[in-house]
Structure 1
C-alpha cells in the first residue's frame, strides 16, 4: 500500500513553527514525521521505531516546539533530550537552531569534555530554564546532582537512539535522570530497534504510548555490493584503477563534502577520465546541463554530493562508488539505489578509511547484511584491516562545545522577515 503524502501545512502546527519548517526547505513530511507529529501535539507519549536518516529528529523537534509555544505559564527547562553522544547532541542542537528560527525558543547542547567556563555556561542556561536542552546522560547527571536544574516540573522528556544508549550501558544513568523529573511529563522515545530491553524501559517510563514503526528501506537485490578498507591516501589510486579496469559507460562517485568532490574530479581528469562534478555550488542551469550530459553519455563519471543521491531520474547507471562512508544507513541505501533500477543489475563499491569503519559497521547492521570486503588490484601498499570496534562514547573526554543561544523569548525571531507561505510541491534538498 502506498502511503498518502502529507504536507507540513496540513499538520496541526503553530504558524511560527511552520515558518521555520518551510524556511528549512521542508514541505512534505516523511512517514515517521507524518505519523508521530499529531500524537505528540496532542500530548501523548510516543515510541518511534525508525532508523537514522528517516527524519526522526524533526519528527520529535517540530511537535515539541509547537507544544512549548502553547505552554503559556511554563517555568524551567521545557524539553530535555537525552542522547548517547556529543556528536548527536550537537547535530540536534543545530537542527533546533534552524527549525526554531521564528519561534524565539532557546536551546543548548550539554556534553562532557569541556572546561570550567563551559560548565559554568551550561549551569547558567539550565538555571535560567532554556527551552530545549540536549544532553548526554553523564553530563546531565553532573548538573542534576548539584541541585540547581529545575526539572521537577519538566513537561517533555525525549530519549533519542534509546537502544544505542542501553547498549552503551546508560540504563542506570537514564533512570536516575528520569526519577528527578515530573511524573506528569510527556515522554517520547525513539529507537532504531525494539529489543526486549527497550520494551522493558518503555513499560517503566511511558504511559499508554502511541507506537510508530517505520521500516528502513533495503538495497535493491540487483545491486552487487563491495567495500575496500583503505587509508585515505589510497582512495584516489584505487578508485582510478576501478574506473580504468572496465569499460564503464555510466558511473556516479559520491562524496560528503564539496571540497572532496572538487578534489576527486581534478584527480580523475588528470588520469584522462571523462568526468564532471555537481554540487550545490553550481547554479541550477549548470546542474541541469551536467545531468543532461551525463544522461546522454557525454560524460562517463559524475562526481557528486548528496544533492543528487535522491530522486535523480537516470535508470542505467552501472556503478556507484562511495568515496566516503555516508553518515547513515538511509543515505547509503539512497546512494547505491542510483544503480540497479527498474529490475536492472549494478555494482556499488564503498571506500572505507579506518575512522569510518565503525560507521560502516553500523550501516551493515541496519541494512541487515554484511558487505563483502574486497582486495585492491592496484599496488597501494599495506591496507588497514577491517576491524570495527564501536566505542562507549557518551560525550566524555571530548573537547568542543555547542553554543547556547540565550534565554527563552530571545530576539532571533526578529532577525529576518518570515518567508511567504508556500503551497504544495516537491521538497527541495538543501544539503550538498
Structure 2
C-alpha cells in the first residue's frame, strides 16, 4: 500500500511527496481509512510508529476539502506535555504545508506575552488547536475559545495524560465540546483506566492494537550490573568507546537529573539537564540545541520519553531502571525511530533487579548483560526472580560480575 491509495486531496498529497512519504506504517494503514469514515477510534501502538501522522493526515484531508466559508475551529488535540504539543503543531505545519490549514499550540509555562499571543490567535481563528489540559481549562474559563462547531477531538498519549493526573481535566474539557463529534484516542499502552475513559467519551469505537509493549526491532538492548558509585565512570566508559552524535540519559527524578548533569560535566561530557522546573524558553532552547546536534547529550526524567520526537538519537541510557516496565518501552523508543537502528543501555544496581526482571517478562526475552570494564571492578551479583530464571536463565548462570560465563571479564565490551 502507498499513500496514493488513500486518495487524499491533491494539496495534501503534494506535501507528502515533498516530504518523501511513500508507504504508510501499519498504524497509519489501519487508522486512516477508519478516521476518513468518521469512526471513533482507540488506537494502541508503541512509540515511534507514526501515530501522529496516522491521525493528522485524515483530519487535514477533511479540513482542506471543506468550503472556505465553512472553515472554523475544527479539531482539538490534547497532549500531556508542552514539548509534545509543540511537536504536533510542527507536524501540522509540515504535513499541511500546501493546504493552508492553520494550527496553534496552547500550553502553560510561558510569560505574559506568550499568553496574550495564544489568546489573540484563538480569537482570530485556527483550524486546529493543540493544547495541554491545564492551560486549555484556563482559556475556557475566560471564554477565550469557542468549541461550538468542533468536529474532532483527539487524545494523544492518553495513558501518559492519565498518569499525570489529567482525568478530571479531560472530562471537564469535554463538557465544553459538542456531543456530536468524532473522538480519537491514541495511546502507547492500554491499562484499565484508559478503557474506562474510552467507554466514557467514545461511541462504538473501532479498535487497533499494534505491537503493544514491544520495543522496536532496530533497538540493540544491553544492560550492566553496577553499583551506584560505579555508574558515572561506567557512563564515561560507554561514551569513550563510541562516538554518539545524539544521546538521551534518563534518571528517575528532577533532583537526580540536575545532580547527574553536574557530575557528567565534571568528567568532560557536553550535557544539559531537561526538567519541568526550567522556564519554557530555557526548555525550548535546550531542545533546539539537541535537535540541531549542537548538544550531544540530554538528561531528563520520563517526561522526555513521551515529550520529544527527535530523529537520529543513537543511544538511550537508563541511569536508573524505570519504576514501571511500560516506561522502559517509552524511554528506549526515543532511539531507532522510523525504521532506523539504535542502542539502549540500562544500568542495574542491586536494588533494581526485580524491576528489571519485570521488564524482561514484559518484552518476552532476556536482555544481554555486558560485563563491567575491568578497571571498575565487579558489580552486584544478578539474582533474577525464580519465574524469570526458569524462563530465560536455565542454562545461563551468572558469575559475580554478571558475566554469563561465570568468569570475571577483563575486556572492554563497548556498545556499537
TM-score (norm 2): 0.61
Structure 2 counterpart of 1:48: 43
Structure 2 counterpart of 1:104: 100
Deviations 1:399-429 (A, max 9, x none): xxxxxxxxxxxxxxxxxxxxxxxxxxxxxxx
- The CA RMSD over aligned residues, in Å, is 4.0
Give SS of 1:29's match: coil
CA distance in 2 between counterparts of 1:335 and 1:105 reads: 25
Please tell me whether the aligned partners of residues 255 and 324 of structure 1 are also in contact (alpha carbons under 8 angstroms).
Answer: no
Deviations 1:237-279 (A, max 9, x none): 3444xx5xxxxxxxx865437xxxxxxxxx9xxxxxxxxxxxx
- Of 178, 183, 189 in structure 1, the residue corresponding to residue 185 of structure 2 is 189
Structure 2 counterpart of 1:409: none
Cα distance change of structure 1 residues 137 and 337 upon mapping to structure 2, 3 Å threshold: closer
Task: Identify unmatched segments of 5+ residues in structure 2.
Answer: 248-267, 269-291, 293-309, 319-328, 348-355, 380-416
Structure 2 counterpart of 1:77: 73
- Of 150, 156, 171 in structure 2, the residue corresponding to residue 160 of structure 1 is 156
Residues 14-33 of structure 1 mapped to structure 2, 5 A cutoff: 14-33=9-28
Cα distance change of structure 1 residues 93 and 70 upon mapping to structure 2, 3 Å threshold: same
Q: Structure with the greater relative contact order (CA < 8 A, sep ≥ 6): 1 or 2?
A: 1
Give SS of 2:134's match: helix
Please tell me whether the aligned partners of residues 48 and 337 of structure 2 are also in contact (alpha carbons under 8 angstroms).
Answer: no
Query: How many Å apart are 1:163 and its aligned residue?
Result: 1.1
CA distance in 1 between counterparts of 2:114 and 2:142 reads: 16
Structure 2 counterpart of 1:211: 207
Query: How many Å apart are 1:19 and its aligned residue?
Result: 1.3
Residues 30-429 of structure 1 mapped to structure 2, 5 A cutoff: 30-72=25-67, 73-216=69-212, 217-218=214-215, 225-227=222-224, 235-240=235-240, 255-256=245-246, 322=315, 329-330=332-333, 332=335, 350=345, 367=363, 376-377=372-373
Structure 2 counterpart of 1:345: none
Give SS of 2:70's match: coil
Please tell me whether the aligned partners of residues 129 and 150 of structure 1 are also in contact (alpha carbons under 8 angstroms).
Answer: no
Task: Identify unmatched segments of 5+ residues in structure 1.
Answer: 1-5, 244-251, 258-266, 268-280, 282-304, 310-320, 340-347, 353-360, 384-432
CA distance in 1 between counterparts of 2:135 and 2:367 reads: 36
Please tell me whether the aligned partners of residues 75 and 129 of structure 1 are also in contact (alpha carbons under 8 angstroms).
Answer: no
Query: How many Å apart are 1:47 and its aligned residue?
Result: 1.1
Deviations 1:296-336 (A, max 9, x none): xxxxxxxxx976x9xxxxxxxxxxx8365798544546799
Cα distance change of structure 1 residues 224 and 54 upon mapping to structure 2, 3 Å threshold: closer
